[in-house]
Amino acid sequence: MITFEPEFFLKRNRDIDEVTLRAIAREVRKDILKMTSNAQSGHPGGAMSATDIIVTLYYYKMRHNPLNPKWEERDRFVLSKGHVCPALYSVLARTGYFPLEKLMEFRKIDGDLQGHPDMHKTPGIEISTGSLGHGIGAAVGMALGLKLSGSDSKVYCMIGDGEAQEGSVWEATMAASHYNLSNLVVILDNNNLQIDGPVDEVMSIYPAAEKWRAFGWNVMEINGHDFKEIKEALDRADRSKFKPTIIIAKTVKGKGVSFMENRAEWHGKALPPELLKEALKELGEIV
């Protein structure tokens, strides 16, 4: 297991190479599959498309303190697409917010890891989310509040592409540029699959980059599974002086397991035990 001292996370832009990030992400994907399989419930597909970005945020980019989750100088992460919380729970556990064993409490009646993030039950969760389209508005409020207080903390927020169909996403998008929230960075997990099928078939959000550009945002488009590109995009967002940034990350739903990739059916379904074994083997676990 790859572990770091808690002090490691206190400064931004840490010295960590792509090989290490990839190795961590592989562990996180295994956690996601085990957690959802153990609960026989949850959303593995989207969690696996979001994994590489969340790993890069917590291990490379964000200033945070696993021993003091409410540390005032921390950067904030809002998981607006709350259903992919297994990826976030795994990263929080692995960076030291709570013991790894807790992950198996996911979705259990006596556990602290709710089906969607609960800020009062799980350390490190900045705000409770789950109903799509609300987290990004809360992130706007956090960025506004931090700016008003003269803090240099940043707010990172991940939204889904299906989520971008919610009108409130665009209300928040409008407000963020109106208030020049350059301390807000949104990442669009663009795996192009939602429950009922491909996003462009269910209700197209495209052209996405043009939409956010027209709303006054700093827009970048990257491969959301290329750690070098993720790191560079997050660094470039620091240079935006007036505009909020959106990183449109092309991703693959179910990334990492061949038979789950690009399959909408793994949006909200856990692997049965036989398939779990096979998937873990693909991720390099000796079963």
Partner 1 sequence: MEKVSLRDAYGDTLVKLGEKDERIVVLDADLSGSTKTAKFAKRFPERFFNMGIAETNMMNTAAGLATTGKIPFVSTFAIFGTGRAWEAVRQTICYPNLSVKIVCTHGGITVGEDGASHQALEDVANMRNIPNMRVIVPADDVETRAVIRKIAYTDGPFYVRLTREKFPRIFDEETFKFEIGKGHVLREGEDVTVIANGVMTSFALLAAEELEREGISVEVIHMSCVKPIDSELIVKSAQKTGAVVTAEEHSIIGGLGSAVAEVLVENYPVPMERLGTPDVFGRSGKGWELLHYFGLDDKGIIEKVKKVLERKRR
The set of residues, in sequence order, having a beta carbon less than 8 Å from that of 215 and lying 6+ positions away, is 170, 173, 174, 177
What number of other Cβ atoms are within 10 A of residue 67's Cβ? 12
| Complex with partner 1: residue 131 or 223, whichever CB lies closer | 131
Candidates 179, 202, 223, 285; binder of partner 1 (CB under 8 A) is 179
The interface region with partner 1, picked from 60-68, 101-109, 114-122, 201-209 by CB under 8 A, is 114-122
Candidates 50, 127, 187, 205; binder of partner 1 (CB under 8 A) is 127
144 part of the interface to partner 1, by CB under 8 A: yes
139 part of the interface to partner 1, by CB under 8 A: yes
Closest by CA position to 26, among listed 283, 286, 287 = 283
Asked if 187 and 214 touch (Cβ cutoff 8 Å), the reply is no
Q: Alpha helix locations (H) across 225-283?
A: 227-237, 273-282
136 part of the interface to partner 1, by CB under 8 A: yes
245 part of the interface to partner 1, by CB under 8 A: no
Q: Is 247 helix (H, G, I), strand (E, B) or coil?
A: strand
| Complex with partner 1: residue 119 or 195, whichever CB lies closer | 119
Least separation in angstroms between residue 173's CB and partner 1 is: 9
| Complex with partner 1: residue 130 or 198, whichever CB lies closer | 130
What tokens were used for 278? 């096979």
Q: Is 27 helix (H, G, I), strand (E, B) or coil?
A: helix
Candidates 7, 11, 19, 167; binder of partner 1 (CB under 8 A) is 167
> Cis link prior to 207 (omega < 30° from 0)?
yes
244 part of the interface to partner 1, by CB under 8 A: no
Burial class (CB in 10 A: 0-12, 13-18, 19+), 284: exposed
115 part of the interface to partner 1, by CB under 8 A: no
Least separation in angstroms between residue 176's CB and partner 1 is: 9
| Complex with partner 1: residue 41 or 168, whichever CB lies closer | 168
**Between β-strands 193-194 and 197-198, what pairing exists: parallel, antiparallel or unpaired?**
antiparallel
Closest by CA position to 113, among listed 205, 31, 18, 197 = 31
Least separation in angstroms between residue 42's CB and partner 1 is: 19
Longest dimension (CA), the chain: 53
168 part of the interface to partner 1, by CB under 8 A: yes
Asked if 214 and 185 touch (Cβ cutoff 8 Å), the reply is no
Number of residues that bind partner 1 (CB under 8 A): 34
Output DSSP code: residue 125.
-
Alpha-carbon distance 194 to 287, whole Å? 31
214 part of the interface to partner 1, by CB under 8 A: no
Asked if 130 and 82 touch (Cβ cutoff 8 Å), the reply is yes
88 part of the interface to partner 1, by CB under 8 A: no
141 part of the interface to partner 1, by CB under 8 A: yes
| Complex with partner 1: residue 112 or 118, whichever CB lies closer | 118
Candidates 84, 146, 186, 270; binder of partner 1 (CB under 8 A) is 146
Q: Which residues bind partner 1 (CB under 8 A)?
A: 118-120, 126-131, 133-146, 148-149, 151, 167-168, 171-172, 174-175, 178-179
